[in-house]
Amino acid sequence: MDKKRVAIQGIKASFHEEAALKFFGDDIETIECSSFKQTCQALRNKKADYVVMAIENSIAGSLLPNYTLLRDYHFSIIGEVYLRIQLHLLALPGVKFEQIKNVESHPIAIRQCIDFFDEYPHLNIKESTDTAACAKRIRDEQLTDTVAIANQLAAKLYNLEILERRIESNKKNYTRFLILTDHKETDIPGANKASISFQTTDEVGSLAKVLNIFAENEVNLTKIQSMPVLGRRNEYNFYVDVEWDKTAHYQEAISKVLRHTVNFTLMGEYLKNDRV
């Protein structure tokens, strides 16, 4: 059986690959992409079977450009992964902390470790496109004056030592990833979570009515994100995640919500997976 081809933003040992391995297991083929849009293109062009896409971080918040990609590409969401973000300081074997002059990583990873680096103002901090790519560059170029902020997977893959463990400021830092596909058959047995998008009608209180419908039918609203409709003043797309215990209640809620919304899109029904 052919391996599942999973497109990720970044390279091997990035957090996106870690999320892919957590969801699919080890028997996958990772398709490395330089941007989130490129992952979507890989899926559209049949160079990948799935995309793993970060959608929100507990510190940085929602990744708004990725909501735009969800809207533009119309892929189905078939799952989610929550990944604990643990950040380590990686260096070539034998390098001592006193030798370090430069620190490289993704800007979000750097921000998440700012308390640690406040204690070492002499270090030159450089932003890069990917945590794992920084680790790989240290290995490839044998840099003895540079460290990377990355995960344990990167340390193992690129044969680097962990100089300092868990340097992130918030130890409860996690990122939520969505699993996307363009397969037509996407029914998930036992699905108990859904991602939907819609616009409300212009009648007074229409959004409140939609939210009340979910509450009245015992459907839990776990996320709501608004995005402006391009070119239309004061109009918004709402992206909503809901969970339910009884499918009949969810189905009843959706049938009622349709009466109060326009451009309603069911982006995916899948299994809740909030373990970190």
Residue whose structure tokens are 């609203």:
221
- Give the number of other CB atoms < 10 A from CB of residue 155: 20
Of the residues 175, 181, 200, 261, only one is catalytic, namely 175
Cβ(130)–Cβ(136) under 8 Å? no
Backbone angles phi, psi at 109, to 5 degrees: -65, -40
Of the residues 177, 198, 214, 261, only one is catalytic, namely 177
- Three-class secondary structure of residue 215 per DSSP: helix
In angstroms, rounded to a whole number, what is the distance separating the alpha carbons of residues 51 and 97?
A: 37
Active site residue 144: no
Backbone angles phi, psi at 138, to 5 degrees: -60, -45
Active site residue 177: yes
In angstroms, rounded to a whole number, what is the distance separating the alpha carbons of residues 235 and 128?
A: 35
- 165, burial (CB in 10 Å: exposed 0-12, middle 13-18, buried 19+): exposed
Query: 162 - beta bridge partners?
Result: 90
Cβ(176)–Cβ(54) under 8 Å? yes
Query: Residues with catalytic annotation?
Result: 175, 177
